[in-house]
């Protein structure tokens, strides 16, 4: 599984007109493998910052992005669920 710590979104640099790129961490079977950069828009960052549960410390990059706690392994709500 790939995941990105919420704290990494705070330091994300704007590469091109509201697009940000962050390299995910790899866990489980993928641990130790190199990961390509993931792209995020200004709108993505707004949703992530506004909707993150207090218990979440990251986003799990599964089929759908979900808020995640790396210590407990607990998945929370979907990032883009209305």
- Segment 42-70, tens digit of pLDDT: 888 888 888 899 999 999 988 789 999 99
CA angle 59, 50, 20 (to 5 degrees): 60
Residues 17-37 have pLDDT tens digits of 888 998 898 877 767 777 888
Pseudo-torsion of CA 19, 81, 9, 18, nearest 10°?
20
Domain range enclosing 24: 2-78
Buried b / exposed e over 30-69, threshold 16 CB at 10 Å, is: eeeeeeeebebeeebbebbeebbeeebbbbbbeeebbbbe
**Structural domain count of the chain:** 1
């Amino acid at each position: 599984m790939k995941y990105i710590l919420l704290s990494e979104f705070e330091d994300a640099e704007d590469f091109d007109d509201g697009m940000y790129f962050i390299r995910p961490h790899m866990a489980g079977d993928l641990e130790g493998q190199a990961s390509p950069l993931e792209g995020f828009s200004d709108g993505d960052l707004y949703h992530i910052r506004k909707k993150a549960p207090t218990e979440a410390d990251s986003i799990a990059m599964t089929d759908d992005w979900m808020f995640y706690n790396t210590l407990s392994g607990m998945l929370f709500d979907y990032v883009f669920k209305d």
